[in-house]
Amino acid sequence: MRLANPLGAFVARDTPLARIDARVKIALLLAAAIAVFATGISWAFLAWIVVLVLVCRTARLDVASHARSLLPVAFILAFTLAANALALDGHGDIALVGPVGIDTAGGLRGVVAVARIVVLLGLALSVSASTTPPQLADACVSLLSPLARFKVPVADIGLMLSLALRFIPIVSEEFSRIQLAQRSRGVDFERGGIVARVSSWASVLTPLVVSLFRRAERLGESMEARCYAGGDGALITLPPLTCRDRVVLVVGVLVAAAIPLAAWLV
Amino acid sequence: MLEASKVSVLYRGGDAAALDGVSLRVDAGEIVSLVGANGSGKSTLGALLCAMRLPDTGSVTVDGADPARSAADRREMRRRVGLVRQHPFDQLVSTVVFDEVAFGPRNLGLDHDAVRARVDRALARVGLDGLERRDTTALSGGEQQRLALAGVLAMEPSYIVLDEASSMLDASARPRYRALVAELAASDIGIVQITHDPLEILSSRRVVVLDAGRVAFEGAPLDLLLDHADLWDGTIVSHPAVEALRYACGRGFHPSGTPTPQAAVSWLLEGYRASCIDRADLAHALTCCEGRVADSVRRDACPENANPVIAIDGVSYSYDGREQVLRDVSLDLRAGEVALIAGTSGSGKSTLACIAAGLIASDAGTVAVCGAAPRPGDVGMAFQRPEDQLFCESVADELAFAPRNLGCDEDEVAARVRRAAGFVGLDDALMGRYPFELSGGQARRVAVGSVLSLEAVAYILDEPTAGLDAAGRDHMHALARNLADAGRAVAIISHDLEEWLDVVDRVVFVRDGRIVWIGSAGSLHEDAGAFAAAGLDAPLSFELARALREALDGDRP
């Protein structure tokens, strides 16, 4: 039986974004993260929304199903917005009831804060959904490789990263499976006080952790059986960036620089 | 030559030996089957053969390399002796087919071109060429196991240990896997296969039976089948077609090559046409192939009009409101019957079970358990590998968990624990044990017992015998039957029809979310189109039974 795809998991599809080198994607994601925060409150911020839509398009991201999985975060985002926009001490520009009013400047600040999170989350999900875990790991290794000179075990970090990424969907599937099984043994995860609920989750988390440890051990043995020795593995050298990847990188960096600049000038 | 000589391995406590002075020799191009009950030491021996661990006494060598000498020798031995295990997710390290196969060669320090060449060759050998960029998790179970094999082949080993590598495969994926193993042996790779599957055992040149860490038998598979029939029956899963082979051998069949049931039945049919074999012999072979179902009286025990315990009516279900998993399914499960729900993987049978048990809500249609909508706990549901759900401090607590959740008082809980323990055959000595230190077979019993203590009106068991040895399987078969005889409705989800056919009353085939065939277990033999309708290959014993029946019917006056 198949269970829901976890948030941001790689989807094997040939999309324009999937064909771009993972190093370029990671570098641009980092650039965007800095630039989004550097973009002040101005109309230029709308450019980020355009970028987000374009990137989601090229990744052919399933926006509806991602939006559904974002529901838990929606509460925090709404709270952020409300905390910024509501004025309870009477300084609000639009009075509502008594001292309670809406502070438009704060509201705008809140909207931009939420928009920053949504834009970055969307960009990060586009990267993770269009990049396989090994590509992601290899790209990180390649970007970290200068650190190998300082005796940082970059190859091991890369493999660990790749395995961790591979385990995310496995863990989430196993979690759902055990939860179903314990419900069939009469556990009601929604009943009782905090203590009862926490102890009912123990019936899922205990076997989950035990099975993950066992699985990790067996996987480790299988890796040893295929001559994995740890540490002495040669660093994978990725081929140089193609022309198209270089163009994407340059254009991306220019866009990331232009938007905050425009916001500053406007 | 891969050789273990007088190897012993002691358990950590040191009281009993996991292996006690075992010697084994495997030549290039030879298939050797290693069989025995759970805990007999076969996996330990397998681990020694590929240098995953070292023996406490004795030695293991491959073409002169001795893993005890140095870490470099151990590594070289691991390269020369590959290992494929039971579960794909215990051995696949990557999400992309190419990287998965490249993992080993990269560990050997090969350059990019050499890695690429090895990956291409290995994928072509297992028939996965062209899938280099595919997501490993999107492959079928059969493909994943072939991928695991490709990952080992890319190391260019001389020997391969298959540790129950086919045990999780669908019945339909097994013939291809067996053929692949035979091809590898033909290309001079020595194969050690740890298995419970009688057809795999028959396809090997030699079979070694381990019992409590010692060799109980070593010889040709046919010698084990014919001259040590008790040992065969006690350690190897029963199979109707193999019974036909045994019978043919008793009538004078001497196979020249691999002793297959197909060859035996062909020999019988030829002999019948040449009038050297009587009609009665042919009829007896047919009874073997049909299993015990032919003379079953069980069908009368469950009248058609018995009240349904679970009534499923017009149920549909889809993922995310798009991908349709079940389409308008209606099915009644009656008290006192065992129903087998079969179908290819992804056909929707597990989802159907979850809806019947009230664990997930259907999009349309109704489910009633004893007339009311089911709540979780009304139907006992044992998922695949239910031992993965154990979490309590003791076996007794594990069995008591479900009745406590239902709010039973402690006297009632104790009574249910006792009854459930009796049903699955757990003695008092086990009740205080820590569930995580039980053997595989015991843990399965505890897990199933922890569902039975619900004392539900119906039980659904998803692949309850997967990974069990012959004794463990027989126990589960009897358990399913006993539950039904005690008035419960029982549904078994399994892809292995031959295994369950003489236990169940009814068979339900599911395909693409619909029920495509439903009928008594006996009538399955009469309906030639049933398997095709379900998108399944007819099991070997059905094919052989059909050939025998046609010959018998053909010259009826």
pLDDT of residue A181: 92
Instruction: Outline where A131-193 has alpha helix (H).
Output: 133-144, 154-184
Q: Could you tell me the pLDDT band of residue B295, with boundaries at 50, 70 and 90?
A: very low
Q: pLDDT confidence of B300, banded at 50, 70, 90?
A: very low
Examine the domain organization and report whether B453 and B485 are in the same domain: yes
Q: Give contacts of B52 with chain A, Cβ < 8 Å.
A: 221, 224-225
Tens of pLDDT, residue by residue over B103-131, are: 999 888 888 899 999 999 999 999 999 99
CA gyration radius, chain B:
25
Q: What is the pLDDT at residue B410?
A: 93
The sign of the CA dihedral A33, A38, A41, A42 is: negative
**Do A12 and A95 belong to one domain?**
yes
The yes-or-no verdict on residue A254 having pLDDT over 60 is yes
Same domain, A107 and A185: no
Confirm whether B120 is domain-assigned.
yes
First to last CA, chain B: 59
In angstroms, rounded to a whole number, what is the distance separating the alpha carbons of residues B101 and B96? 9
* Of A31 and A141, more confident: A31
A12 and B402 within 8 Å at the Cβ level: the answer is no
How far apart, in whole angstroms, are the C-alpha atoms of residue B222 and residue B204?
Answer: 10
The dihedral over CA atoms of B155, B161, B163, B169, expressed in degrees to the nearest 10, equals 60
**Do residue A113 and residue A244 come from a single domain?**
yes
Based on the structure, what is the number of domains in chain B?
3
Question: Is the pLDDT at A118 greater than 70, yes or no?
Answer: yes
- Helix and strand counts by DSSP (H, E) for chain B: 22, 18
Same domain, A59 and A119: yes
ipTM for this prediction? 0.84
Q: Which two tokens stand for residue B22?
A: 């075992």
**Is residue A32 located within the same domain as residue A83?**
yes
Residue B540 covered by a domain: no
**Do A104 and A23 have their domain in common?**
yes
Per-residue pLDDT, A233:
54
Q: Which domain range does residue A19 map to?
A: 1-132+240-266
- For A73, residues 6+ apart whose C-beta sits below 8 A from its C-beta are A121
Pairing of strands B458-462, B323-334: unpaired
What digits encode the pLDDT tens for the residues A7-54? 566 666 677 888 889 899 999 999 999 999 988 888 888 899 899 888
Q: How far is B357 from chain A (nearest CA, A)?
A: 7
What residue spans of B390-494 are helical by DSSP H? 395-405, 410-424, 428-431, 440-452, 470-485
Together in a domain, A174 and A128: no
Q: Both B288 and B409 in a single domain? A: no
User: A184, A205, A215, A236: which to substitute to probe chain B, counting the most B Cβ within 10 Å?
Assistant: A184
Q: Does A134 touch chain B (CB under 8 A)?
A: yes
A9 and A118, same domain (yes or no): yes
Q: Which residues make Cβ contacts (< 8 Å) with residue B368, sequence separation at least 6?
A: B310, B311, B313, B374
**At what angle are helices B141-153 and B112-125 packed, to 10 degrees?**
130
Name residue B331's beta-bridge partners. B312
Q: Which of B107, B375, B417 to mutate to test the interface with A (most CBs of A within 10 A)?
A: B107
Q: How confident is the model at residue B489 (pLDDT cuts 50, 70, 90)?
A: very high
Same domain, B158 and B68: yes
| A247 and A127 both lie in a single domain | yes
What is the per-residue pLDDT across A153-180, written as a single tens digit (0 to 9) for each? 887 887 788 788 878 878 888 899 899 9
Cα-based angle B378, B380, B386 (whole degrees, multiple of 5): 145
| Cα–Cα nearest to B290, from B502, B492, B494 | B502
Residue B400 lies in a domain: yes
> Does residue A34 belong to any structural domain of this protein?
yes
Q: Has residue A149 been placed in a domain? A: no
DSSP 8-state secondary structure symbol assigned to residue B529: T
Interatomic CA distance for residues B451 and B421, integer angstroms: 11
Q: Which pLDDT value is given to residue A230?
A: 67
Same structural domain, B311 and B226: no
CB B26, CB B2: distance < 8 Å: yes
Q: What is the rounded CA–CA span in Å between residue B315 and residue A35?
A: 52
* Biggest distance spanned by C-alpha atoms of chain A: 73
Number of domains composing chain A: 2
Using CA of residue B536, residue B539, residue B540, residue B544, what is the dihedral sign?
Answer: negative
pLDDT of residue A189: 84
A117/A113 Cα distance (integer angstroms): 7
Residue B449 touches partner A, C-beta closer than 8 Å: no
Q: What percent of chain A has pLDDT over 90?
A: 15
**One domain, residues B230 and B246:** no
**Residue span of the structural domain in which B284 resides:** 240-296+545-554
- Co-location of A77 and A180 in the same domain: no
Tell which A residues from 15 to 44 touch B, by Cβ distance under 8 Å: none
| Minimal C-alpha gap between A25 and chain B (Å) | 19
CA angle A184, A186, A187 (to 5 degrees): 100
- Do A204 and A250 fall within a single domain? no
Q: Do B376 and A188 touch (CB under 8 A)?
A: yes
pLDDT bin (cut points 50, 70, 90) of residue B301 is very low
Say which of A10, A215, A226 has its CB closest to residue B90. A215
CATH of the domain at B212: 3.40.50.300
Confirm whether A225 is domain-assigned: yes
pLDDT in tens, B399-452: 999 999 998 999 999 999 999 999 898 888 889 999 888 888 889 999 999 999
Give yes or no: residues B28 and B167 share one domain: yes
Residue that the structure tokens 């007999």 belong to: B40
Is A71 within a domain?
Answer: yes
Instruction: Return the pLDDT at B297.
Output: 44
- Whether A141 is in a domain gets the answer no
**Same domain membership, residue B129 and residue B145:** yes
Residues B384, B466 contacting (CB under 8 angstroms): yes
Residues B70 and B98 in one domain: yes
* Lowest-confidence segment of B84-93, B149-158, B287-296 by average pLDDT: B287-296
Q: Is the pLDDT of residue A95 over 70?
A: yes
Q: Examine the domain organization and report whether A127 and A15 are in the same domain.
A: yes
